[in-house]
Amino acid sequence: MSVGHNVSDRILAETRADAVQPLLASNSAWVMGSTVIGESFRRLTLHPFLGPEERPAGPRPGQVPFQAHIELLHFFLAHRDDIVERIQGALNAQRQPIEYLQDSVLLSRHFEDCFFTLTGVTHSQSHLRGQLAEAHRASGFRPREIPGLHNGLVDPAEMMIRGFHLWQQTRWPGRNGRVRYANTLFNLYVVRCLALLSMRLWDAGPRSAGDRLSQVQGVLDGLWTLTPADQPVLLRDARWLIQMAQSPATDDLGAYFEVAEHIAETLSEEDRIEIHKAGVRMAAGHLRSQIRYYSIKKAVSLDEKSLVLSTRNSNALDFALLIQDLVPLLEAYEHAWHRDDGQKRLELADAICQGISPDPELFLNRVELLGAYSMIEHLFITTDRDGHVVYTPIGRRHVRLLHEYEARIGVLSKPLYDDCPNFRPIAGAYSPYGVLYGFSSDLMEHMALKTLQPDAVTQFSVEDVFIGGDANADKLAWVSGWRKLPHLKPEVEKLFDYPQQFAEDIFDRIEHALRRRVSDGEANAVVQTGRLFILPADNLKADSKASLIPDLPVRYIGSSDMQIVAAHKADCHDETHLLSDRREGKCVLSYKTPGGWVAITKDILTEVLGAARDVRIVGLPPVAVGVLKLMCRNLVVLPEGGW
> What is the reported pLDDT for 52?
36
Cβ within 8 Å of residue 148, ≥6 positions away: 13
> What is the reported pLDDT for 40?
32
> What is the reported pLDDT for 145?
82
> What is the reported pLDDT for 471?
59
> What is the reported pLDDT for 521?
46
At 397, phi and psi to the nearest 5?
A: -65, -40
> What is the reported pLDDT for 542?
54
Strand partners, 468: none
Q: Which of 575, 573, 534, 589 shows the shortest CA–CA distance to 377?
A: 589
Range 220-233 burial, b when 16+ CB lie within 10 A, else e: bebbbeebeeebbb
Q: Does the pLDDT at position 445 exceed 80?
A: yes
Number of CB atoms found within 10 A of residue 122's CB: 12
Confidence of residue 58 (pLDDT cuts 50, 70, 90): very low
CA distance 155 to 339: 44
CA distance 418 to 222: 41
- CB distance 535 to 548 below 8 Å: no
Domain end marker among 246, 281, 299: 246
- CB distance 580 to 566 below 8 Å: no
192 Rama class: left (phi>0) / alpha (psi -120 to 50) / beta: alpha
In a 3-state reduction of DSSP, which class is residue 616? strand
> What is the reported pLDDT for 190?
98
Domain end marker among 510, 526, 542: 526
Q: Does the pLDDT at position 59 exceed 60?
A: no
Q: What percent of the chain has pLDDT over 90?
A: 74
- Does one domain contain both 489 and 544? no
- Judge whether 183 lies within some domain: yes
In a 3-state reduction of DSSP, which class is residue 503? helix
- Does one domain contain both 435 and 488? yes
- Judge whether 442 lies within some domain: yes
- Judge whether 421 lies within some domain: yes
Q: Does the pLDDT at position 123 exceed 90?
A: yes
Element housing 68 (H / E):
helix 66-78
- Does one domain contain both 547 and 510? no
- CB distance 34 to 620 below 8 Å: no
- Does one domain contain both 317 and 450? yes
- Does one domain contain both 458 and 532? no
Lowest-pLDDT range of 177-181, 207-211, 250-254, 373-377 = 250-254
Strand partners, 558: 571, 599
User: What is the DSSP pairing of strand 596-601 with strand 587-593?
Assistant: antiparallel
- Judge whether 3 lies within some domain: no
> What is the reported pLDDT for 26?
34
Biggest alpha carbon–alpha carbon distance for the chain: 85
Domain end marker among 497, 526, 555: 526
Q: Give the residue, 147 or 508, on which the prediction is more confident.
A: 508
Confidence of residue 515 (pLDDT cuts 50, 70, 90): very high
- CB distance 305 to 21 below 8 Å: no
Average pLDDT, stretch 188-211? 95
- Does one domain contain both 511 and 541? no
- Does one domain contain both 328 and 196? no
Confidence of residue 22 (pLDDT cuts 50, 70, 90): very low
Q: Give the residue, 44 or 487, on which the prediction is more confident.
A: 487
- Judge whether 629 lies within some domain: yes
Q: Does the pLDDT at position 57 exceed 50?
A: no
> What is the reported pLDDT for 642?
63
CA quadruple 362, 363, 365, 368: dihedral, nearest 10: 80
- Does one domain contain both 374 and 463? yes
CA quadruple 540, 542, 546, 547: dihedral, nearest 10: 50
State in Å, rounded, how far the first CA of the chain is from the last one: 38
- Does one domain contain both 508 and 570? no
Q: Give the residue, 271 or 546, on which the prediction is more confident.
A: 271
Domain residue limits at 534: 25-52+528-637
Q: What percent of the chain has pLDDT over 70?
A: 87
Number of CB atoms found within 10 A of residue 10's CB: 16
- Does one domain contain both 212 and 297? no
> What is the reported pLDDT for 545?
72
- Does one domain contain both 69 and 39? no
DSSP label at 31?
A: B
Average pLDDT, stretch 53-79? 76
- CB distance 111 to 83 below 8 Å: no
Domain tally for the chain?
A: 3
At 26, phi and psi to the nearest 5?
A: -155, 165
- Judge whether 216 lies within some domain: yes
At 467, phi and psi to the nearest 5?
A: -120, 125
HEC secondary structure over 550-603: CECCHHHEEECCHHHHHCCCCEECCHHHHHHHHHCCCEEEEEEECCEEEEEECH
- Does one domain contain both 295 and 342? yes
Q: Does the pLDDT at position 10 exceed 80?
A: no
Confidence of residue 225 (pLDDT cuts 50, 70, 90): very high
Cβ within 8 Å of residue 179, ≥6 positions away: 84, 85, 88
Confidence of residue 62 (pLDDT cuts 50, 70, 90): low
Q: Does the pLDDT at position 629 exceed 50?
A: yes
- Judge whether 91 lies within some domain: yes
HEC secondary structure over 464-486: HHHCCCCCCHHHHHHHHCCCCCC
Question: DSSP alpha helices (H): ranges in 92-233?
Answer: 98-101, 104-116, 123-126, 131-138, 156-169, 175-198, 209-225
Confidence of residue 143 (pLDDT cuts 50, 70, 90): confident
Residues 560-598 have pLDDT tens digits of: 999 999 999 999 999 999 999 999 999 999 999 999 999
For the chain, give the mean pLDDT. Answer: 88
Most confident of 467-481, 504-518, 540-554: 504-518
Element housing 328 (H / E):
helix 316-339
- Judge whether 298 lies within some domain: yes
HEC secondary structure over 204-256: CCHHHHHHHHHHHHHHHHHHHHCCCCCCCCCCCCCHHHHHHCCCCCECCCHHH
Q: Which of 121, 90, 76, 125 shows the shortest CA–CA distance to 227?
A: 76
CA distance 425 to 415: 19
Residues 284-305 have pLDDT tens digits of: 999 999 999 999 989 999 999 9
> What is the reported pLDDT for 48?
36
> What is the reported pLDDT for 51?
37
Q: Does the pLDDT at position 93 exceed 90?
A: yes
Q: Which of 510, 515, 516 shows the shortest CA–CA distance to 351?
A: 510
Tally the C-alpha atoms within 13 A of residue 347's C-alpha that lie toward its C-beta: 12
